[in-house]
A and B are shown apart, each in its own frame.
Chain A
Amino acid sequence: MTVLDVRPSTTRLLYGLAGTGADLTTHLATHGPLPVPSRLRPQWQEAVLHEVESSGLTGRGGAGFPAYRKMRAARRSGPGAVLLVNAMEGEPASGKDEYLLTFAPHLVLDGAELVALAVGASTVVICVPAERRAQIADLKRALGQRLSLPYERPNCRVKALPGHYVSGEESALVSAVAGKESVPQFHPDKSVGLRLGRQPVLVHNAETLGHVALICRHGAHWFRQVGAPEAPGTSLVTISGAVRQPGILEVETGLPLGDMIAAARPVPDVQAVLVGGYGGTWVSARNLSVPFGPQSLKAVGASMGAGVLFVLARGSCGLFETEIIARYLAGEGAGQCGPCLFGLPAIADDLALIVRGQPQPRDLERLRTRCGLVAGRGACGHPDGAARLVNSALGVFQGDANYHMRFGPCPGCRLPATAPVPSRFTRKVEPA
């Protein structure tokens, strides 16, 4: 397993990893003791929240909001809250949370317990996809080791849940933990928190909690020493695609995309990079100097997302890859909302026509209109992501689109699809 090392000073979460890190003693020796007093006081709770706020830590699950906000809201809603550790990682091209939980589970568990104690949550549920049986067993073992810790811990347990693309969406996760179907709930008023029955729920991504564990040990100032000011610290990214050394990388935010990808040894001629996730944005190779931070990525229509970087080589057809991903996304909706349920397959069909047939300008127009129709009209951001992906593809791969309009499928379409999706989505393009 490759841990890519760009600059040793920014190896924080992944510091000192040697094989599997599910050993508490090694973990405490590497990172130091957990800064939890044996008797909790409100002042300590306030200090933790203050530290997280000052650190400027933003969520690493995709949305990127300041982490302290949800924590403060949970604390205000009173005791007895439930903390959900979100390790569902529905993005097929993302492996960072799985990696972190495999090799540094105690860091995530530290963060989870710290946050739970700070907001007065009595229960912690670590949510993991059911198919990761080995990881579930390892986590249970790690929790067993933590019984020896000298402070009063919250009630922690591991919960295996069905792992679909949208299972990691907050309201879908809460719904699944409540024993219902793991589908997103319509929740337009964000100021009202989610609930598990009567209890307020706090959901945080696994990596975010790993950072909390380090912030509480080393301080907010230490955390801010590296990274972009509006989203400081380090971040885990998963690099895959046309690279010789795919893997998980810990980078300071604000590092240029090109530098990050360089660590994975990409093929000589990179065409574009899909940034964020399957619901993210294609960024052309021209823009690889763009720093990996919220403001700078926003300028090219992208965001950090779930830290996915999928590299596309020059010879491949970006529209074909996008069609494969779009078809996958169309099948991965919860099936609740009409615009997504009908719109995403229609968008995938439009892309199929563009890739495999001989499209007209009006086909591109219709595709653009449909992308505009589905965005914002679902209970969650799934259709928005699909629309974003397709719109960025039409922009970045304009040249391919022009070729397809004049000559039909391009040579790049003949190559096998590289985006990681279940194999039944990778239908080969027939010759023109």
Chain B
Amino acid sequence: MQQADLWYLSRATGVVALVLLTATTFLGVLVAGRAKSKLPSFARADAHRYISVVTVAFVAVHVVTALLDPYVNIGWAAVVTPLTSSYERAGIAIGTVGADVLLAVGISSALRTRLPARAWRAVHWAAYLCWPTAVAHALAMGPDTRFAWARCLLAACAFVVLGGIAWRMAGAVNARSARPRTELEPRRSLLAAISTGDATK
């Protein structure tokens, strides 16, 4: 293997991971938003889970190849700790944060049945951070972003994810949050009404 191969592999897997993350996020939004479809809803949820696993795999390869690459000096600490890389400190840091969140979401989901439902949900909401950090990381790192194809790809990914989120916010299917508890007028005492003769009309 040539020296540059790891570098290209890292960049390639990074691009693929971003596309997969886009798909994962989009499907996740559809699941949470209860999008109606001819397919059973569980199929969509299952696809979301499956693609998320593949995403994690690609992110892992992306990270490892970057670390093994002798051309850039990142350091193993940067895998989980932001701002420890000597190469492109800020850009890598954004990626580290995104990967950390992805790791947390992934682990919590793997252990979902063992966690309280509320705890799992709380961590899963953080998953919304993954895609923006991935995009910011991609923009900060380059070098592929100077190519038109890369920019088009990024735009397409943004269209899909942001469109999905906009759809979800417009629909607001989440029954519990959409409905405010009735704000009672201070309840008129029936006794008071009876005493003042108001109870019969």
Residues of A within 8 A of B (CB): 1-2, 92-95, 98-99, 102, 129, 131-132, 163-164, 238, 240-244, 246-248, 331-332, 334-336, 338, 341-342, 416, 418, 420, 422-424
Contacts and interface: CB of A to CB of B under 8 A. Distances in A.
B184 A418 contact: no
Contacts of A94: 190
Contacts of A238: 190
A341 B193 CA distance: 30
A338 B184 contact: no
Nearest to B191: A95
Interface of B: 175-176, 179, 181-182, 184-191, 193-195, 199-201
A130 B112 CA distance: 40
Given A95-B191, A335-B179, 8 more contacts: A93-B190, A94-B190, A95-B189, A163-B187, A335-B175, A335-B176, A420-B188, A423-B185
B184 A102 contact: no
Contacts of A424: 185
Contacts of B193: 420
Contacts of A132: 189
B201 A416 contact: yes
A131 B186 contact: yes
A163 B194 contact: no
Contacts, number: 65
Contacts of B190: 92-95, 98, 238, 240, 420
Contacts of A240: 190, 194, 199-200
Nearest to B188: A420
A180 to B, nearest CB: 13
Contact of B201 (A92, A102, A418): A418
Contacts of A248: 191
A189 B128 CA distance: 38
Nearest to B181: A335
B187 A1 contact: no
A247 to B, nearest CB: 6
Contact of B200 (A92, A98, A244, A423): A244
A152 B181 CA distance: 42
Contacts of B176: 335-336
A164 B175 contact: no
Nearest to A90: B187
B200 A243 contact: yes
A342 B175 contact: yes
A338 B174 CA distance: 11
Contacts of A247: 194
Contacts of B184: 163-164, 422
A1 B195 contact: yes
Contacts of B188: 420
A129 B184 CA distance: 12
A423 B198 CA distance: 13
Closest 10 CB pairs of A and B: A95-B190, A331-B182, A131-B186, A246-B199, A95-B191, A240-B199, A422-B185, A246-B194, A418-B201, A335-B179
Nearest to A332: B182
Point out which of A2, A94, A163, A420 has the most chain B C-beta atoms below 10 A from its C-beta. Answer: A420
Contacts of B179: 335, 341
A242 B191 contact: no
A98 B182 contact: no
Contacts of A102: 191
Contact of A98 (B189, B199, B201): B189
A423 B184 CA distance: 10
A241 B200 contact: yes
